[in-house]
Amino acid sequence: MKDRFFLTTAISYPNGAPHLGHAYELLAADAIARFMRLDGKDVFFLTGTDEHGLKMVQTAEREGLPVKDLADRNAARFRAMGQTLAATNDDFIRTTEPRHYDASQAIWKRMEANGDIYLSKYSGWYSVRDEAFFGEDELTSGDGGKKFAPSGAPVEWVEEESYFFKLASYQQKLLDWYDAHPDFIGPETRKNEVVSFVKRGLTDLSISRKTFSWGVPVPDAPDHVMYVWVDALTNYITACGFPDESAERYPYWPANLHLIGKDIIRFHTVYWPAFLMSAGLPVPKRVFAHGFLNNRGEKMSKSTGNVLEPIAMAEHYGLDAFRYFFLREITFGADGSYSHEAIVARLNADLANDLGNLAQRSLSMVNKNCEAKIPAKGPLSDEDKVLLDAAYALRAEARAAMNDFALHSILNAIWKVVGDTNRYFAGQAPWALRKTDPARMETVLWVTAEVLRIIGILTQPFIPLAAPKLLDLLAVPADSRDFAHAEAGFALTSGTELPAPTALFPRYVEAETEGQTPGKEGKGG
RNA sequence: GGCAGUGUAGCUCAGCUGGUUAGAGCGUGGCACUCAUAAUGCCAAGGUCGGUGGUUCGAGCCCACUCACUGCUACCA
């Protein structure tokens, strides 16, 4: 029986088109999902869209279409982005689906049955024009003590009937949970923030609204809709079939990983576990928050025009390069910055020059000098053994790094070996051995090819187009590409016929025309 | 203001419980090679490890103070 591994992205809010931040989270999750599958896990990878709430209603009005039509249109865009990025999610959930209404109402009833939901009044400064509440610090004061929203609209103090969740009573339970599960929140810096936040004390949470109706109705109180987070967070168990405990995917819960942006850490590490505890459901194993991306050190925003269209970028640089860059260049969990120059540098240096050219230079020698077959493996020298050992050690290094979701460290370690292999190849100089010691040449080429096999296997989660292509060039059978095969026992067999080598990654050559590259000119989103 | 974190070569970052001349990649300069995608290899230049003062036989790594930047500081996702 395989170990199960259930991971999720946050569900995206589709009141606009997907942007690079959405893409980044999805492809990081995808790399983890692929990694786990290759490492023998039974993976369930979930993503989707969070379609309720006031902002969807407002955007729909602005665009003059029914809100469900807006949701349908934009959810389709998010789905399409996933396909362009080669995301291997097993399900795509939308919070407007009937199954999700069932699950949301079921968890609500359980929290209510547990005595954690009560009716009271939510009060605050409300702007009729904006249809939204504002905090005291967001307001500006005008003549005669009148207060105004950031939009300039006047606000009034209103009290609204609302259901509340007894979050305050979960303070100690949450602190105990964090204490007993030190890996629950990552990275470490986020954990510190959450713990200190909870320690300061929690107050009960308003979890329903009557001011709009675009949401999941509260059971037995249809004039209330669930406020966005109760509904949104529940998507993770909806996808497991909740409340049907006999559902096929029910055993995947609790999730092994919620991958989210750092901005929504509180909802996932405070509210969500409290809801689940209240409903008598298991709490997820880990929540990991990634950082934000900056374009040349500037925050991405529509107003500065540097919001990039991820599909256009993937098509421009190539999917593998796009994925590789963001997973390799940015310390996973921290904020990162990117630029056209940085992407091109990575693409050319790491992919085309280091790995692509290594495959090309070695396999073309095999093709010309070894009858296009895996060369004969002779006695191994110390240099051969050192290099092979470094390659075989990568699997364990990758697993260790994955334990902290240090995707960048995995790629760093793999490319260290790519560099070692180029140095080995230059040092052994098989083109010289061809004349002086052909048998030794074959051994050098065999060692190089075997290292490439390991690299091909381990890079599959990150560069899902080129890695299989590399394994094809080495004639590695489709059923021999799991991490289980990344060891000496499955080494290349001399004499196996190989196809003619072809390039893995094209070099990026700067276009003649200026301003046509997505990293240089922002395409407003 | 309070709490937390960061500050190491032009750029992005590693630096184990403090221990001999502080490392890598990219970029730059030179050389070599020719199997290869004008790719690769070798060598070199370049850092008062934010600052000041301590502890220690010895500190990038510990302590105090200080400067700069970042995050969090509840119902906004």
A17-CA/B7-C1' distance, Å:
37
> Residue A243 above 60 pLDDT?
yes
Enumerate the nucleotides of strand B whose atoms come under 7 Å of any protein CB: 2-5, 12-14, 25-27, 33-42, 70-77
Looking at A145-149, A308-312, A339-343, which range is the least confident one?
A: A145-149
Average pLDDT over residues A316-331: 93
A509-CA/B34-C1' distance, Å:
23
Q: What is the pLDDT of residue A130?
A: 64
A337-CA/B47-C1' distance, Å:
24
Average pLDDT over residues A251-278: 95
Nucleotide nearest to A365 (CA to C1'): B35
Q: What is the pLDDT of residue A70?
A: 96
Q: What is the pLDDT of residue A75?
A: 96
Protein residue closest via CA to C1' of B76: A134
pLDDT, tens digit, for every residue of A28-45?
A: 999 999 999 999 999 999
Those residues whose C-beta lies under 8 Å from the C-beta of residue A62, and which sit 6 or more positions away, are none
Those residues whose C-beta lies under 8 Å from the C-beta of residue A236, and which sit 6 or more positions away, are A8, A46, A253, A255, A258, A284
Q: Please, which pLDDT band fits residue A498 given cuts at 50, 70 and 90?
A: very high
- From residue A149, alpha-carbon distances to A55, A60, A186, A302 in Å are 16, 22, 35, 21
Protein residue closest via CA to C1' of B34: A431
Q: Please, which pLDDT band fits residue A513 given cuts at 50, 70 and 90?
A: very low
A142-CA/B29-C1' distance, Å:
64
Q: What is the pLDDT of residue A512?
A: 53
Q: What is the pLDDT of residue A143?
A: 65
Output the six-digit token pair for A48: 């989707």
Q: What is the pLDDT of residue A321?
A: 95
Nucleotide nearest to A209 (CA to C1'): B75
> Residue A398 above 80 pLDDT?
yes
Q: Could you give the percent of chain A with pLDDT greater than 90?
A: 74
What's the longest Cα–Cα distance across chain A? Answer: 96
Q: What is the pLDDT of residue A154?
A: 76
Looking at A258-262, A318-322, A332-336, which range is the least confident one?
A: A332-336
pLDDT, tens digit, for every residue of A362-379?
A: 999 999 999 999 999 999
Nearest to A120 by CA among A79, A166, A75: A166
Q: What is the pLDDT of residue A14?
A: 92
CA distance A76 to A81: 9
Q: Could you give the percent of chain A with pLDDT greater than 70?
A: 91
Q: What is the pLDDT of residue A518?
A: 44
> Residue A509 above 90 pLDDT?
no
Average pLDDT over residues A81-108: 97
pLDDT, tens digit, for every residue of A51-60?
A: 999 889 989 9
Q: What is the pLDDT of residue A448?
A: 98
Nucleotide nearest to A227 (CA to C1'): B75
Mean pLDDT over each residue of chain A, to the nearest integer: 90
Nucleotide nearest to A54 (CA to C1'): B77
Overall residue count recorded for chain A in this entry: 525
pLDDT, tens digit, for every residue of A188-221?
A: 889 888 998 999 899 999 999 988 899 999 999 9
Can you say how many angstroms the Cα of residue A517 is from the centroid of all Cα atoms in its chain? 25
- From residue A301, alpha-carbon distances to A10, A20, A308, A474 in Å are 20, 11, 9, 45
pLDDT, tens digit, for every residue of A166-179?
A: 999 999 999 999 99
> Residue A304 above 60 pLDDT?
no
Q: Please, which pLDDT band fits residue A334 given cuts at 50, 70 and 90?
A: confident
> Residue A133 above 90 pLDDT?
no
Q: Please, which pLDDT band fits residue A303 given cuts at 50, 70 and 90?
A: very low
A413-CA/B59-C1' distance, Å:
29
> Residue A104 above 50 pLDDT?
yes
CA distance A289 to A263: 8
Q: What is the pLDDT of residue A514?
A: 42
pLDDT, tens digit, for every residue of A266-300?
A: 999 999 999 999 999 999 999 999 988 877 655 55
Q: What is the pLDDT of residue A318?
A: 94
Q: What is the pLDDT of residue A373?
A: 97
Q: Please, which pLDDT band fits residue A150 given cuts at 50, 70 and 90?
A: low
CA distance A146 to A129: 15
> Residue A119 above 70 pLDDT?
yes
Q: What is the pLDDT of residue A520?
A: 39
Q: What is the pLDDT of residue A157?
A: 80
Those residues whose C-beta lies under 8 Å from the C-beta of residue A387, and which sit 6 or more positions away, are A417, A420, A421, A424, A447, A451
A78-CA/B74-C1' distance, Å:
31
Q: What is the pLDDT of residue A523?
A: 29
pLDDT, tens digit, for every residue of A453-477?
A: 999 999 999 999 999 999 999 999 9
Output the six-digit token pair for A146: 């009148």
Q: Please, which pLDDT band fits residue A308 given cuts at 50, 70 and 90?
A: low
Instruction: Report ipTM (2 d.p.).
Output: 0.92
Output the six-digit token pair for A443: 């051994």
